[in-house]
Amino acid sequence: MIAGTQPSRPLSLRDERGGVVAGNWQRWLGPAASEDEGLLDRAIGPVLDIGCGPGRHVLALARRGVDCLGIDVTPSAVRLARSRGATVVEGSVFGPVPGGRVWATALLLDGNIGIGGDPVALLARVTSLIRPCGRILVELGPPGTSGAAELARVEHDACMGPWFAWTAVGASCIGAITAEAGLRLTSSWHAGGRWFAQLDTPGS
């Protein structure tokens, strides 16, 4: 599949009951939106995009001349991202990640702070991958969003990715989660109908 083409089955994130957890495939497959670009203004390279999907943020950073690597557990998403020219590896953030602690910024966008079903554990893992005085840029659900951990997988066309634990995290929860993870909530904002936050490691 090439950039901008419509999959025969919309790209979606589905739970184990068959419900759509997230399914904005038009946004995922399109170019970075203005609110994405505004968030990426905060990214300091090199950048690790966790759960990069089709790679629109990796591509947007590459156009800026910022070194960025995407990582995703779904083979079809990795193939799609690579077909679009994004530098992406297949794997889990909880497994081996290239680069050691070279990364200055990590991205957890499109709700990816829910990967693993335990946001505090995920943030601790991401903190171990980035440089001291690094930052994590996250996208959240609307205030009031909450959800128990469940299994989900990425689906598009006839391809289905592996199951992984997932939970929804709303903007109203991020302060407590950030504190529990030992990070600092530097800023949070709302743009384009979406919610974002910047989390900095101690000493930043």
pLDDT single digits (tens) 137-157: 999 999 987 776 677 777 766
**What tens digit of pLDDT does each residue of 1-34 get?**
333 444 445 667 776 776 666 556 677 778 899 9
Q: Is 162 within 8 Å of 187 (Cβ atoms)?
A: no
The reported pLDDT for the residue numbered 11 is 67
* Domain span holding position 47: 12-200
Instruction: Report if residue 5 sits inside a domain.
Output: no
Question: How many domains are there within the chain?
Answer: 1
Q: Record the pTM.
A: 0.86
Q: What CA–CA distance (Å, rounded) separates 117 from 177? A: 13
Q: What is the mean pLDDT of the chain?
A: 87
pLDDT at 175 over 70: yes
Instruction: Report if residue 4 sits inside a domain.
Output: no
Q: Is 11 within 8 Å of 155 (Cβ atoms)?
A: yes
Q: Which two tokens stand for residue 87?
A: 């530098």
CATH at 73: 3.40.50.150
Q: What CA–CA distance (Å, rounded) separates 150 from 102? A: 32
Instruction: Report if residue 1 sits inside a domain.
Output: no
Instruction: Report if residue 161 sits inside a domain.
Output: yes
Task: Return the percent helix, strand and coil in the chain, to nearest 5.
Answer: 25, 35, 40
Cα separations in angstroms, 37 against 25, 122, 138: 18, 24, 14
pLDDT at 58 over 90: yes
